[in-house]
Amino acid sequence: MAQYEKHEYDVLVIGAGGAGLRAAIEASAEGVSVGLVCKSLLGKAHTVMAEGGIAAALANVDERDGWKVHFADTMRGGQYLNNWRMAELHAKEAPDRVRELEAWGALFDRTVDGRILQRNFGGHQFPRLAHVGDRTGLEMIRTLQDHGIHQGVDVHMECTVVALTKDEGRVSGAFGYEREKGRFKMFSAKAIVLATGGVGRAFKITSNSWEYTGDGHVLAYHAGADLIDMEFVQFHPTGMVWPSSVRGILVTEGVRGEGGILTNSEGRRFMFDDIPELYRSQTADNEEEGWRYTQGDRNARRPPELLTRDHVARCIVREVQEGRGSPHGGVFLDIAWIQEKMANSAAHIRRKLPSMYHQFKELAGIDITAEPMEVGPTTHYAMGGVRVDPDSQMTCVPGLFAAGECGAGLHGANRLGGNSLSDLLVFGKRAGEYAARFVKENGAVVLDEGQIEAISNWALKPLESQTGDSNDNPYQIQYGLQEMMQELVGIARSEEGLNDALSNIANLRHRSENVIAIGNREYNAGWHTALDLHNLMTCAEAIALAALERKASIGAHSRDDYPDKEEPNTKKYNTIVRKGADGEMQILREEIPEVRTDLQEIIEEIG
């Protein structure tokens, strides 16, 4: 018999980042009992690392902004593969969600007239990101955390869910281990909200932490939900490239929003060399105009450094491949140059970008107020994920909801900076609200001991044998996967490479099924890594399969063998990954429904 501690909730939220916390707050405000589980300590989720800001059309800095412009920007950035209903809800509700944070104690930077200040970011036509220097995520997660702990939510920190259970088609609970003693916990729940974040750990160079192993994606997949658009993995253009031990750590887009420029080894601002048609009329055609834009000139157009992330990342790769990169294989990002334009530039940079200043000073020995940084693309964000109903965030599995980065639809083929934090708030709230409603409308669930027993046995398997091939430890398999994914499923993809990747994944999966974790159950990182491998493999396979399916280069997905944006005679579609009846992964396509007429008019009007 499996040994476990049992907990019972109406709603269980898995994940305590912005989406999970917001969902938990909302569900408990609806009067149902709520449990919240997270792998790390409270307040350490990815959301804490977000730097640049939260996108919301508050129109505090430029009154020409409004939800319609935000909606049109989001759709354009996503190459119109977005779920338009989600894009609509997001643009309409984000301002209220930001104001609500202020009512819960958040202190955003201010405009001169005492309102929430907003900054420029790539792909947003107007200054739109509410922020606190470059530590916006910290402000957001702390506000939600400090508000949430007084809402009667039961928090289980350092507890990792490894599987969901079902009761005749409906989710019935989640099974996990607590890190400290390695003991099992079984959470019975009438509704479950997945808010587990992304999958960046499938790649070698990433801004993501050990937590991002795609757990929610895989929990949903095995429970019978669909994953959509998994091929769209965002490579953020500016990660640190040197020293090698910090490679991948994020350099916020805020640097470019504040006037930072990208140059190659010849000192050329190469972003002016390739401006996509879709953005030509919105983009500055000379350096002076670009600078004026960053300083708030309302008649200037934005500099090409603030084009969308997919495009900027590809331009950087081109410069490096053609031999015009920086010494450590990136390009230069220069904010120090603004000293030509302002007297007290060093103090200005330190005030606007304090954590970037600190990060480069301490980790790379570089003073960004005086010297350029070296940057290159880093795996950052999963646009793809669990398919949900746009209004309720429920998956096709009754009682199972998903929100935040592990959900999908809002961002289409490419996410705009700042649109994630707002996504967490808008759809975290909705998921909590609808999960509570589901609980009220549906009866109790029954747990099935057989399912629990099987999960428990599976989870203990890596610990069973304590003698094995020490060259094949969980970390080595993870590194193997990361290297391979980086090379074959990274920024530039091809049919040959992707097929190669799929057979590599099959091999790695085989190795991971027999992996051994040395030691006992107590806070055993090797054991945890061994169990995570299972999720990484499934996500890697889903990404590679979807990438193979999409025979085009659009948004964050680029195929060397299919450089065109569209496939001949094909309407816009989503890729769908689903677990087949035979247990194998299936890939299919589904046409995207026509945009509602009034929304289509907005797109055409705003352009």
Partner 1 sequence: MAAAKFKVWRGDANTAGFVDYEAEVSEGMVVLDAVHQIQAEQANDLAVRWNCKAGKCGSCSAEVNGHPKLMCMTRLDDLPLEKPVTIEPVRAFSHVKDLVTDVSWNYQVKKKIKKFNPKPPDFEDGTWKMQQEDIDRVQEFRKCIECFLCQDVCHVLRDHHLHDNFIGPRHYVYTAALEMHPLDTENRLGDLKETDGIGYCNITKCCTKVCPEHITITDNAIIPLKERVVDQFYDPVRKLLRILKPKK
Ligand X SMILES: Cc1cc2nc3c(=O)[nH]c(=O)nc-3n(C[C@H](O)[C@H](O)[C@H](O)COP(=O)(O)OP(=O)(O)OC[C@H]3O[C@@H](n4cnc5c(N)ncnc54)[C@H](O)[C@@H]3O)c2cc1C
**From partner 1, ligand X, none, interface partner of 114 (C-beta below 5 to 8 A by class):** partner 1
**From ligand X, partner 1, none, interface partner of 148 (C-beta below 5 to 8 A by class):** none
CA angle 393, 396, 398 (to 5 degrees): 85
3-class secondary-structure state, position 231: coil
Of 7, 247, 256, 550, the active-site residue reads 256
Residue with the two structure tokens 């709230």: 429
Task: List the beta bridge partners of residue 50.
Answer: none
Tell me the C-alpha distance between 389 and 396, whole Å: 8
3-state helix, strand, coil in the chain (%, to 5): 40, 20, 40
CB of 141 vs partner 1, minimal distance in Å = 9
Of 236, 301, 311, 411, the active-site residue reads 236
**From partner 1, ligand X, none, interface partner of 362 (C-beta below 5 to 8 A by class):** partner 1
Half-sphere exposure of 239 (CA within 13 A, CB side): 25
Residue nearest to ligand X (CB): 17
Residue with the two structure tokens 């490239």: 241
Catalytic site residue 99? no
**From ligand X, partner 1, none, interface partner of 401 (C-beta below 5 to 8 A by class):** none
**From ligand X, partner 1, none, interface partner of 77 (C-beta below 5 to 8 A by class):** none
Residues lying near ligand X in the complex (CB under 6 A): 14-20, 37-40, 45-47, 49-53, 136-137, 160-161, 176, 195-197, 207-208, 211, 215, 250, 381, 404-405, 417-421, 424
**From ligand X, partner 1, none, interface partner of 475 (C-beta below 5 to 8 A by class):** partner 1
DSSP secondary-structure letter at 173? E
Q: Which is nearer to partner 1, 138 or 421 (CB)?
A: 138
Work out whether 55 is an interface residue with partner 1 (CB under 8 A).
no
Strands 154-156 and 34-37: parallel
End-to-end Cα separation, the chain, in angstroms = 62
Residue with the two structure tokens 């907005």: 602
Half-sphere exposure of 93 (CA within 13 A, CB side): 18
**From partner 1, ligand X, none, interface partner of 242 (C-beta below 5 to 8 A by class):** partner 1
Q: Which is nearer to ligand X, 46 or 493 (CB)?
A: 46
- Count each helix (H run) and each strand (E run) in the chain, helices first: 16, 18
Q: Which is nearer to partner 1, 116 or 193 (CB)?
A: 116
For partner 1 (CB under 8 A), the number of binding residues is: 69
Among 85, 142, 183, 292, binds partner 1 (CB under 8 A): 142
Q: Which is nearer to partner 1, 149 or 506 (CB)?
A: 149
C-alpha dihedral (394, 397, 400, 402), degrees to nearest 10: -50
Work out whether 92 is an interface residue with partner 1 (CB under 8 A).
no
Element (H, E) at 238: strand 233-240
Tell me the C-alpha distance between 182 and 20, whole Å: 23
Site stretch for partner 1 (CB under 8 A), options 371-379, 418-426, 520-528, 539-547: 520-528
CB of 38 vs partner 1, minimal distance in Å = 11
Strands 34-37 and 227-228: unpaired
Tell me the C-alpha distance between 97 and 426, whole Å: 6
Tell me the C-alpha distance between 525 and 493, whole Å: 33
Task: List the beta bridge partners of residue 174.
Answer: 164, 187
Q: Which is nearer to ligand X, 143 or 504 (CB)?
A: 143
Catalytic site residue 236? yes
**What are the catalytic residues?**
236, 256
> What residue ranges bind partner 1 (CB under 8 A)?
40-46, 48-49, 99-100, 102-105, 107, 109-110, 113-116, 132-133, 135, 137-139, 142, 146-147, 149-150, 155, 157, 180, 209-211, 242-246, 249-250, 355, 358-359, 362-365, 473-476, 479, 517-520, 522-527, 529
